[in-house]
Amino acid sequence: MTAELPLNDIAPGTWKPNRGRSETIQLIIKIICGAFATISILTTIGIIGTLIFEAFSFFGNLPSELSKDSEQVSYMQGVIHFLTAGRWTPLFASKQFGIFVLISATLMITFISILVALPLGLLAAICLSEYASPKIRKVLKPVLEILAGVPTVVYGYFALLTVTPFLKTFFPVEGFNSLSAGIVLGIMITPMVASLSEDAIYSVPQSLRDGAYALGGTKRETVWSVVLPAALSGIVSSLILATSRAIGETMIVTLAAGANPTLGFNPFVPVMTMTAYIVQVTKGDAPHGTIAYQTLYAVGITLFLITLALNIFSFWFVRRFRQKYD
């Protein structure tokens, strides 16, 4: 006969887990987290909903604004006018709503800023990750991130009061122009490009570098032909993020590029970007309910769609081209 093992020999009352209370706490935590998640989702839906609703009423009112006594304008023609007209004058007596006037200014300034930020940011990233000693990297990386936190109004004044006068000695630029705004915007997003690209380059596994060196690669060949291509998806996505940032940037372009809606790609003359227009109207030039007020939402949704498209592209690109190293 085998003796019963004294498994249940523990003194009663030693272990008394308070299951009831921990379940209540669990429930409360769930409710609080759920509430915050709901609030943030509702806010987003609310903003996008307002944008869409007001933009729709803009396009609803557009035909009557454009119609003259002799001819009626359809909704479709209104949209076509919005996309193709060569002037943007919602605040004038003879109103025209060619959004491309504002888009062209935004695109030109963004393009100039990328021309500045791509080489500067990428070179800084390469130097930091491949050539700087670990000590220097440890100091410079946080400095870069601090630089990204300089208020944009400071950059705006820098563009207006320092860069534009300097440019005047070389080019026939006017007091407000996209060249100065673009260059300073480029300087502003350079730390972002540098920091994110550096992360991408730094995370290329050492084994790839070793592989290239072991084949008789020099440092230059290893960096340019193996490391950079391997980091490409991260570099491109940093660039797209910076582009989004540049497109949405407001202060620098409002201060340095002017408020003069001009179609075309002349970098020396004053222009008006989408964001600068939004500032102008929001500051109170247009009464609530008028078509001029509603243009705010039409421009807003255009801006939103452009950055959304960029972000979707970036998301797709990264998923398509990211290398998986385990």
Q: Strand, helix or coil at 57?
A: helix
Residue 31 Cβ vs other proteins, minimum distance, rounded to whole Å: 46
Among 171, 210, 289, 316, binds other proteins (CB under 8 A): 210
228 binds other proteins per the rule CB under 8 A: no
Q: At what angle do helices 75-84 and 19-66 cross, to 10 degrees?
A: 90
Piece in contact with other proteins (CB under 8 A), picked from 49-57, 65-73, 80-88, 210-218 = 210-218
Query: What is the residue type of 307?
Result: T
60 binds other proteins per the rule CB under 8 A: no
Among 6, 20, 216, 284, binds other proteins (CB under 8 A): 216
Residue 227 Cβ vs other proteins, minimum distance, rounded to whole Å: 10
135 binds other proteins per the rule CB under 8 A: no
Would you put residue 101 in left (φ > 0), alpha (ψ -120 to 50) or beta?
Answer: alpha
208 binds other proteins per the rule CB under 8 A: yes
At CA 241, angle to CA 235 and CA 242, rounded to 5? 90
Using the minimum distance from each CB to other proteins, give the nearer residue, 199 or 221.
Answer: 221
Query: To which residue do tokens 């996505």 refer?
Result: 237
Using the minimum distance from each CB to other proteins, give the nearer residue, 293 or 317.
Answer: 317
Residue 118 Cβ vs other proteins, minimum distance, rounded to whole Å: 22
Q: Strand, helix or coil at 235?
A: helix
Tokens of 38: 């709901």
165 binds other proteins per the rule CB under 8 A: no
Using the minimum distance from each CB to other proteins, give the nearer residue, 91 or 318.
Answer: 318
Give the contacts of 262 (CB within 8 A, at least 6 positions apart).
101, 105, 269, 270, 271, 272
Using the minimum distance from each CB to other proteins, give the nearer residue, 21 or 135.
Answer: 135
207 binds other proteins per the rule CB under 8 A: yes
205 binds other proteins per the rule CB under 8 A: yes
Give CA separation, 188 vs 90, 141, 161, in Å.
31, 16, 16
Using the minimum distance from each CB to other proteins, give the nearer residue, 236 or 310.
Answer: 236
Cα(179)–Cα(306) distance, integer angstroms: 22
Size of the site for other proteins (CB under 8 A): 20
Among 217, 266, 280, 293, binds other proteins (CB under 8 A): 217
Query: What is the residue type of 73?
Result: V
Other beta carbons within 10 angstroms of residue 219's beta carbon come to 13
214 binds other proteins per the rule CB under 8 A: yes
Give CA separation, 140 vs 44, 137, 186, in Å.
36, 5, 19
Site residues (vs other proteins, CB under 8 A): 205, 207-218, 221, 225-226, 229-230, 323-324
